[in-house]
Structure 1
Amino acid sequence: MLSKVLRCWSLCILGACLTRAADVVPAPQKFKQEIAKSYTSAHGLPQKPVQFVHVGSAGRVLAFCDGRWLALGGETWQEVKELTPQTESEFVFPGANGAPVKVPLPWRNVRQLVCKQNIAWVATETNLVRVDGRQITTVPLPRNFFLRGFAVGDDGRLLAGGTSGLYEFVHDAWFRVAVPDKQGRRWAARDVACVALDSEQRIWFGIGAGVACKETADWRFYEGKDGLPWSEFTCMRVGTGGEVWFGTTLGAIMFDGKEFHYRQGPRWLPNDNVNDIAISSDGTVWFATSGGVGSNRRVDFTLAKKAAFYEDEIERYIKRTPFNYVAESALRVPGDKSTADPQDSDNDGLWTAMYGAGQCFAYAATRDPKARERARQAFEALRFLQKVTQGGTHSPPKGFVARTIRSAELPNPNTGRLESDREQQKHDSLWKVYEPRWPLSEDRQWYWKSDTSSDELDGHYFFYPLYFDFCADTESEKERVREVVRDLTDHLLEHGLVLVDHDGRPTRWAIYAPEYLNRDPRWYPERGLNSLSILSYMTVAAHVTGDSKYADAAKKLIDEHGYHQNAMYPKVQFGPGSGNQSDDEMAFMCYYNLLRYANDETLKAQIRFSLFSYWANEAPEMNPLFNFICAAHCTGQYHANPFGRFQITPWEGWLDDAMRTLRGFPLDRINWPHLNSHRLDVVRLRPPQSIDAYDIDHHPRGYRANGKVLPVENRHFNHWNTDPWTLDYRGNGNELASGTVFLLPYYMGLYHGFTERP
């Protein structure tokens, strides 16, 4: 019975990759980068809701707010006094030539203004007025009807949606438009919130149940299951490229003909309540919101240009100390990058290593000397984390690496630390309570943070061989790399495969010894991952130093303690979305180096299938780093088991998903909040798919109806260890994240030929 189950599992997981081209066609450099901007009272707008926006003659953008029209000039809005209504009972707007036009409608009640071919239409809930030159005509609305939105076609076709349904104006009379679906539901019977006619004169409308579009003879319907994120519609407009934009009470939505794209939160809008939308001839979309005016542009860009943007931000705002550690930066004024104030983090070594690894790939792919210099800086920063721990009053054994450093001129970080550690120990019985957690360096210039974790070591070992291979051009440079790797790896070997701190005890997480991983039940969750890690470390050390003792150590762990078997299941998980995301980031870095540098083909074949199996669980995350690592090692490869020989090339879509994420990253890396738990297209994860099975998730987690996590445009995260299944993201604009999450996979993809060269 067990063999049948295993065979079915193998066929399911391996049968997924049935088709794939023989060679990867590199993804193009060019794409459209989305750039958003918000205008508020700081730019001259009143501190009131913006009623609507209008693109007038010569492309002038105007906003109607608190009874006044304001025009955008440069970065500020100025009142257009000649368009200000004289009384509450009239509305004034710019005509076709920009001259003021008055209509006898209370300006507070106006819901929509449409100008088509020198004819203007103005609507309130109960009135629809047509303005042709000096002729003003009132178009009676249907009986018992309150208008919510209307649309005018290029040929003068007129439609209106409102409380009693959808209507079309034909031969001076309104006729109800019947819209049944195949289930017998009447979609346009009542409460039509918005309506539009696209460039092909197809009817679009939105209601609480979803969106409908008239395609030739039949209607097409879109609901949450079809990818529609939200349906409390306020307005609808058609873009210059045929895309359809929807305003809602909780953000804006764009449909590009294939997918819906959701834009919510201060990264994209000054306020989530969108009252009106207007679109310039160049495709710029303007949003009138209850908190200001927003704009959205899609500009010609390349991946290389995006990388250069992030590199510049890292240099200007992120790098910290003379060693240039790379993590993230606090902002003293929310949203203002000029107030950047980078601080130390628990994992400066890991984040700097991942940044440095990206620079190594960049130099290998482009030979850009700037990339090599950045990689060199990263090496010096990581090397110093090893050297700074030695010689002081609290000095650990040689080779120990610190988590991070901070200037001794700053407040003592040990103050109150013991109390904090005792509190932490209540929730983690293996947590260490000791002092100082931040010893002083021998020269008393630096505090260095101890209790270094396994993820730090994963980062160090990921970076060093790449720097050794790609950037260390001279023998003296290579020897400096050998020294650091040798000292760290010898520390592990000499202390029974644990990292020993200055208190003489192992750190909380850097545990790799068989007596812990194979025989201590408290360590079973780390058994697979830490086995993979130590095999990778020893393999890297053997490659960099040329000393066979490290390969021998790895072989002993395999032959006597089954570490290769442990590494087949590096993560405790119960399906996509479960388990610790930090483990994923760590595992993929270790997979990359173990498969790149190991010489044992039997071991590599086994680990390669472990990587593919791991990736199969992570594929819905659309992670370009994970996808590229799997593709680099599994493309064109096969796995043999008792049931046959199976291809383990990543299945179709891996490159598209990776590029969708790389292209989708906003240029704005500030920690603005995002809300997604309300979305109609989201499916909640089941309790067994919690991060920890013993602790059911207490915050909303889920994925889209297409089976994949939310796009990066709807999330914010500093590093790839953030849970992508989380739906809501906190933030208040007080932190700037680095672009390493883009740079590392982009440069890796460039090196491996997954993306075009610039």
Structure 2
Amino acid sequence: MTKSFRNLIWAVLLVTISCSDAPKGETKTASLPVYKDVPYLQDYSIKYNKQGDKLMLSQVFMDRNEVIQVASSEGILRTHDGQFLYPGVLLQDKTYRPLTDKNITAITIYKDQFVYLDDKAVLSNAWAGSLYLKHDLPKANVFAAGNDFEFLISDGPMLQYVSKNKKNWTGVLDKDKVKAIKFNKKNSTFWILGEKSIASFNPKGQTLKTVFQNGNFTSFALLHNKLILTTLDGYLEVDATTGKQIGEKKTKLPWTEITYVDVIDGHLWFGSTKGAFMLKKDGKFDYYYGKRWLPSNNVIHISKGTDGSILILTDAGLGQIVYEEMTLFDKAQYYEKQVRNRHIRLGFNATLVDMDNGNFDTGRLSDSDNDGLWTTMYLAGEVFRYAVTKSEDALQNCREAMDAMERLFSINPVPGFPSRSFERSGYKERLHDPERWQHSDDPEWDWKSTTSSDEAIGHIFAYGAMAELMDNDLKDRAIVLIDTLMSHIVRNDLYMVDFDGKPTTWGRWNPEYVNARPKMVGDRKINASNIIGMLQTAYHFTGKEKYKEKAFDLMDNHGYLDNLMWPMKDVAKAPDDADDWSKMLSESWNHSDDEMYFIGYWGLYKYAFNDTLKTKFKDAIIDHWEIERPEKEGAWNIMTALTGTQEFDLEEAAWYLREHPMDMVSWNIMNSHRKDVTFLEPNFREQTLSEVLPPDERPVQRHNANMFRLDRNYAKDGSEEFSAGDIWLLPYWMGRYLGVISAPEKNN
């Protein structure tokens, strides 16, 4: 079953619920569409690496017992060990010792049983070993099974037909060399591919007929009476009856250097020198590139497993693409374990780095300038999870993350200032960043300074959600931290002031700084939007007038309402006469700002001082969302639902969640070579394509990255694993809390 078959499973999943059923705290002005969380097919890869550089692999099949065998230059191999994210290996198959003594050159599947070709016969261990058809081609290395225990074999120049019940036949392909043989069950005909031609063999009349000649083919398949003939520059379609080419050569493909093609469940599957891809019914492709899916990108052979998986053999080993039925809730359960097992550092939501080729056991947990931000995004997701499920596990996760967040404030000497991170002292790598790392009063610990607005807005977002939705001590702890941080900012004239008494580079919301930027420069809008949302949140939960007074002062006397209402379509580069800082800030679209905007919208919209402002803020949010729609960003679409709007691209948000790869390792990814996509001219938004690629075909990245990024080439392939805490769990659990994603349901 292929990835495109998902469409049959999850189509027409949007239903509506009445506003009376909306979760606590959600907008009550209108009903919202809801994604019905029924099972879909989630794909992931199990990889098996070959042992030895000189070993040549040629074919792979799975029998009815779900045993996988690979034909190689050293005989039959089988898979050993191997599971998702933990690659296995290909080893010599010794399960039936007499078979290891034979010179087996090819394998195939007949009636879901392994059949072998050696220098003397076609044979099998199935059917009590009774299948043993001798042939006269000692160098035979190509064969295919037909009906009723009949086989057509070849050594290149010669063809021979052998059967249990019919007389044998020998022939020669006209002035060509056989490369592949396949059988068409519909008309009981063998098709033979040569290097420059394709012919058919009718076993009934034992006649051989050349159908088409038009140079250098690499592989072929038969689909709906059309011959698919592949080359190193695309493929041809030929009418199997008339032998005439249909249309022009097909080159609008992920890659045109095709090495193999087959038909699986009515879909064309292609192997190439740059990965494998499947042609979907809508004319687009599912593309499997890189070590996320395959041991290498040079594909040799593809077949369907009896368990529904797709077996993709490369020159470096086997990639088994597995399709598992699951709901988004099932996927969330997997990601919850991924975070807790590999991504918690001192309570922070962290990245695993310095891995050796995707091996988690070789990696280490890394600190980050954005430990506060990534952790608050994960924390907010767990708050939403707790609000929906009352899970004790979610509550404990919140407590541990909150411990880390509180210590960000207490580990440094500056009142109300949140550190970027902290770590045990003496770690040598920290010496390379002396501007950020500072010693604490405790000689065992250091803390990271220069905190930015990214962290500040993350703090207020998570604490606001916690203060609203928690019914325990965490509510009070969250309010204390809101007040602590915002008191520091207000006390310091809307700056975050570091240990040296100076404002940090990016912690600046003061009008003198903000309004120094020309109106079209995004920093003017983002800083105004964030600080108003932060002040509203502080006032909402503390009731302290200083926050309300400061917010209205900014809006009434310093243009902050106009700043945050500036249309997104008018955000642009600074003019030539602007200062250098403004020019630097506006060289291109800032996707980190997008992240800051949207997590800030929680406080901007929910805690608006009055209905008039709430209506304006809703307009600003939807205006921003309209600009972001091409990215199909799951988190931004779901956050927009906060406003109660009926249109927020729920289907695209669900698509993001379904299509996101379960493998979150930083494998090298390439898409800039693709010929099946439409590239755009360089532009301010850095949108490279007319339509964004699915998440499982592009680099794994956080929400602050460009979803239209095509490539990522690490010096060490597979050196990092990202946490799902902020990337996936936040939008999923927010969607559950807002009621736009249902609880898991059975598929009827």
Contact 1:148 1:163 in 2 (8 A): no
Shift in alpha-carbon separation, 1:70–1:366, aligned structure 2, 3 A: same
Give, in angstroms, the shift of residue 257 of structure 1: 2.8
Aligned position for 2:336: 311
Correspondence for 1:730 among 686, 704, 713 = 713
CA distance in 2, matches of 1:523, 1:405: 37
Aligned to 1:566: 563
Secondary structure of 2:33 counterpart: coil
Shift of the alpha carbon at 1:456?
A: 0.8
The aligned amino acid for 2:437 is: W
Structure-2 separation of matches of 1:92 and 1:713: 44
Distance in 1 between residues matched to 2:659 and 2:512, nearest whole Å: 45
Letter in 1 for 2:56: P
What is the Cα deviation at residue 599 of structure 1? 3.2
SS of equivalent residue, structure 1 residue 447: strand
Q: Matches of 1:519 and 1:448 in 2, distance apart?
A: 32
Question: Which residue is 2:91 aligned to?
Answer: 77
What TM-score, normalized to structure 1?
Answer: 0.80
Match of 1:90 in 2: 119
Q: Helix, strand or coil: the match of 1:439?
A: strand
AA of the residue aligned to 2:342: Y
Q: How does 1:632-671 map to 2 (within 5 A)?
A: 632-633=642-643, 635-636=645-646, 649-650=647-648, 654-671=649-666
Q: 1:582 aligns to what SS in structure 2?
A: helix
1:222-233 matches, within 5 Å, as 228-233=253-258
Q: For 2:71, give the aligned amino acid.
A: F
Report how far residue 377 of structure 1 moved: 1.9
Task: Find 1:531's aligned residue among 528, 533, 536.
Answer: 528
- The 2-side partners of 1:55 and 1:93 are apart by 18
3-state SS of the aligned residue for 2:42?
A: strand
Structure 1 unaligned regions, length at least 5: 1-18, 178-187, 391-395, 419-434, 637-648, 692-700
Write the deviation string for residues 584-642 of structure 1: whole angstroms up to 9, x where unpaired.
11111112321122132222222222222222222222211011112332523xxxxxx
**CA–CA separation in structure 2 for the residues paired with 1:535 and 1:360:** 23
Q: In the alignment, which of 703, 713, 729 is matched to residue 743 of structure 1?
A: 729
- Equivalent pair of 2:226/2:237 in contact (CA under 8 Å): no
- Counterpart of 1:616 (choices 621, 626, 635) is 626
Residue 498 (structure 1) aligned with residue 491 (structure 2): no
In the alignment, the residues of structure 2 paired with residue 587 and residue 213 of structure 1 have an alpha-carbon distance, to the nearest angstrom, of 54
**Alpha-carbon offset, residue 679 of structure 1:** 0.7
Question: Is residue 2:281 matched to residue 1:257?
Answer: yes
Deviation at 1:154, TM superposition (A): 4.3
Taking structure 1 as reference, are residues 140 and 325 closer, same or farther at Cα in structure 2, changes over 3 Å only?
same
- What does 1:60-459 align with in structure 2 at a 5 Å threshold? 60-72=67-79, 77-80=91-94, 82=99, 85-86=102-103, 90=119, 94-95=123-124, 97=127, 110=141, 113=144, 118-123=149-154, 126-133=157-164, 137-144=169-176, 147=179, 150-164=182-196, 167-169=199-201, 172-176=207-211, 189-197=214-222, 203-207=227-231, 208-210=233-235, 212=237, 228-239=253-264, 241-258=265-282, 259-321=284-346, 324-390=347-413, 396=414, 398-411=415-428, 413=430, 415-417=431-433, 435=435, 437-459=436-458
Whether contact under 8 Å (2:133, 2:163) holds in the other structure is no
CA shift, 1:750, in A, is 1.3
SS of the residue aligned with 1:234? Answer: strand
Q: Distance in 2 between matches of 1:386 and 1:525?
A: 29
* 8 A Cα contact 1:93 1:100, kept in partner: yes
| Deviation for aligned residue 1:280 | 1.9
Distance 1:412 1:156, change over 3 A: closer
Q: What amino acid is the match of 1:674?
A: I
User: SS where residue 727 of structure 1 aligns?
Assistant: coil
- TM-superposed CA distance for 1:748, in Å, is 1.1
Contact 1:314–1:739 under 8 Å retained in 2? yes
Report how many aligned residue pairs link the two structures.
666
Q: CA deviation at 1:299?
A: 1.3
Matched, 1:510 2:507: yes
Given that 2:262 and 2:302 are in contact with CA atoms closer than 8 Å, whether structure 1 keeps it comes out as yes
Q: CA deviation at 1:554?
A: 1.4
- Percent of pairs with identical residues: 29
Once residues 523 and 440 of structure 1 are traced to their aligned partners in structure 2, the CA distance between those partners, rounded to angstroms, is 40
Shift of residue 216, structure 1, vs aligned partner: 13
| 2:367 counterpart SS class | coil
Distance between the aligned counterparts of 2:160 and 2:69, measured in 1? 21
Residue aligning to 2:695: 712
Instruction: Establish whether residue 40 from structure 1 lines up as the match of residue 40 from structure 2.
Output: no
Counterpart of 2:45, as a letter, is A
Distance across 2 between alignment mates of 1:123 and 1:634: 67
Quick one: distance in 1 between partners of 2:508 and 2:534? Answer: 13
What's the CA shift for 1:32? 1.2
Corresponding residue for 2:40?
A: 31
Q: Cα deviations across residues 310-364 of structure 1 (Å, max 9, x unaligned)?
A: 211221211012xx10121125433222334212111100000010011011111
Aligned to 1:641: none
Are the aligned partners of 1:408 and 1:446 in contact in 2 as well (CA < 8 Å)?
yes
Partner of 1:755: 741
Amino acid across the alignment from 2:742: E
What SS is found at the alignment partner of 1:687? coil
Q: Note the C-alpha offset of 1:149.
A: 6.3
How far residue 716 of structure 1 moved from its aligned partner, in angstroms, is: 2.7
Pair 58,537 (structure 1): closer, same or farther in 2 beyond 3 Å: closer
CA positional deviation for 1:556: 1.5
2:539, 2:240 → 1: CA distance?
64
- Structure 1 position 203, deviation (Å): 4.9
Query: How much does 1:156 deviate?
Result: 1.5
Mapped pair 1:53 → 2:63: no
Q: Is the 8 A contact 1:403 1:451 kept in 2?
A: yes
Structure 1 residues 595 and 126 mapped into 2: Cα distance closer, same or farther (>3 Å)?
Answer: farther
1:122 is displaced (CA, Å) by 3.9
Secondary structure of 2:594 counterpart: helix
Distance of aligned partners of 1:749 and 1:381 in 2 relative to their CA distance in 1, 3 Å threshold: same
* CA–CA separation in structure 2 for the residues paired with 1:65 and 1:175: 30
CA contact (8 A) 1:84 1:92 kept: no
- Helix, strand or coil for the counterpart of 2:683? helix
Runs in 1 of length 4+ with deviation above 6 angstroms?
19-22, 213-222
C-alpha change, 1:523 and 1:219, in structure 2 (3 Å) is closer
Q: Distance in 2 between matches of 1:345 and 1:669?
A: 18
2:563 is aligned with 1:580? no
Q: After superposition, what is the alpha-carbon deviation per residue over 1:402-439, rounded to whole angstroms, capped at 9, x for unaligned?
A: 111111142372x3546xxxxxxxxxxxxxxxx5x312
Per-residue deviation, residues 213-252 of structure 1 (Å, max 9, x unmatched): 9799996989565xx322322222233x433322111111
User: Which residue matches 1:596?
Assistant: 606
- After superposition, the C-alpha distances for 1:80-110 in whole angstroms (9 at most, x for unaligned) are 5525554999387654646666655576x84
Q: Secondary structure at the match of 1:607?
A: helix
2:669 corresponds to which of 666, 670, 674: 674
The runs of 5 or more residues in structure 2 that have no matched partner are 1-13, 17-30, 83-89, 106-117, 574-586
